[in-house]
Structure 1
């Protein structure tokens, strides 16, 4: 661990008083701008600037794809001047139903009347809503992020193409980002074999692989996020690290200082477990380890001034990262 440049005496930091269980570290409701989110942002930005009709965003489970997309749906309209962007959750149905499909879309875009009427009525209601949103925004286009898109059936892609075609008749372009797991690429291969070029051309030409923490830079940026790129409560001046280690923070304690040590610990634990796959830590497991360390060893736990290697091992063990990797290797 790197040492602090300057040591100061503990002092009254006026640590915020908040309701029990309300801190984002307790609720899990937060997102930090990692290297991978930045890469994804640039890819989406490229697609939108070039008005590509669609793209695949894929990766293994637990990488944080869903949370990253939800974060980007909130910041992208700022750059693209109110561009209508919607986050769609793809439900799993054994037998796709057109009425249910458009009902789900109406729910996720926030329409006030999603349930009444037959399939054709719901379809027209959705189209009118999207056209109106495109007109109000003056962007003349709509963006859909469809999460768990590997659940889509071929017939549902046909319904999406119908929406695309209808919007195009009114001068509104549609961009669809399919977000999901590796199966999305397998589906693309099947569509190629079946000669379904229209599906690939509309939704699957562009691809982006979403990854977890793969190297030192990724680890450093993630840890630095807890030290600097977050604040709770708002305008309090307390990052997550400072909130849980207030006195130690004044004396130079930073999670980012543990970057090299954590990389070594993860590498060592993977080697001991016999894991030979490519080094990658899904964000869910890294954040679980960090949250455990903040809560257990910070001021609300053991109130330590530093975190030892043994304690980091305990935190990583608690996250079940190694068990998850072993299961994935089966």
Structure 2
């Protein structure tokens, strides 16, 4: 039993308060396996696509954290956020790439110099890691234009001359699949073969099993403070946790309330639940129903409903319904 009186976490500094934490889900585990195969098989590029707010960005961060260990290879991996420009330029493109990989001076030099610095940066990282692989995840990749794919292809070709495989994972909305179809229709097979050779549809939380796996992480798969042996659920529910309280025991009820709200609001079309709203609902439960809130001993459907509504799930889904 952990003595919680010795645990001092300043107000607002717990990961549940800051939102700065990564948790494995059923879907992320599946994605980890798929992307691991892409990297192992030296795929030059592939697509991860799905609806907004499903948790794709968090999934990227999780993959970058765990994949090198899973593959037993110290492969340099980078998360690059794609930006929107009215008129994309080579200068902005390579500056954004340099910034995304953490280069010390992304803004210096002409476009050609930035391109060379990026190449040398990747070569240096590959040599340091003693691997001949580099992986970049391009987030919001539906924003990429045809000319930007050409510039990416140049980077791939330049690294290939040094025996380094660049794997580019495009992450974004389902629009990426439509984009691939247009490239095929226009016979842009080189772009498709280089960056879109495979695809994976990323899903939200779909069933009770997904809820169980997620909630169990809060119960037993998390820890804060470091080396405290305190899970997130234990930190927030304290004595009740010692008496057997576990979020995972409510997986069925939690899932049922989401389905009931979908039915009530006419949202049955999208059965999968975006991870963002499930996470926000769980955080609401921990903060408002635990030791620092109402300190309830048992959860019920009314409490789950309040947490889900507070997450913004209903409002967001209704907006998407109007758009469709």
| Offset of residue 12 of structure 1 | 6.0
Change (3 A) 1:310 1:128: same
Change (3 A) 1:188 1:236: same
Partner of residue 257, structure 1: 249
Partner of residue 27, structure 1: 18
Matched pairs, number: 321
| Offset of residue 77 of structure 1 | 2.2
Q: How does 1:1-330 map to 2 (within 5 A)?
A: 13-14=4-5, 16-78=7-69, 79-330=71-322
The runs of at least 4 consecutive aligned structure 1 residues that moved more than 4 Å come to 10-13
Deviations 1:121-159 (A, max 9, x none): 111111111112112222112111101100100000000
| Offset of residue 49 of structure 1 | 1.0
> Structure 2: how far apart are the matches of 1:311 and 1:135?
54
Runs of 5+ unmatched residues, structure 2: none
The alignment partner of 1:234 has SS state of: coil
1:289/1:318 contact within 8 Å kept: yes
Runs of 5+ unmatched residues, structure 1: 1-9
| Offset of residue 246 of structure 1 | 0.5
> Structure 2: how far apart are the matches of 1:48 and 1:300?
44
| Offset of residue 11 of structure 1 | 10
Normalized against structure 1, the TM-score is what? 0.94
Normalized against structure 2, the TM-score is what? 0.96
Deviations 1:240-270 (A, max 9, x none): 1111100110111100000111121111111
Structure with more relative contact order (C-alpha pairs < 8 Å, separation 6 or more): 1
2:219/2:231 contact within 8 Å kept: yes
| Offset of residue 308 of structure 1 | 2.0
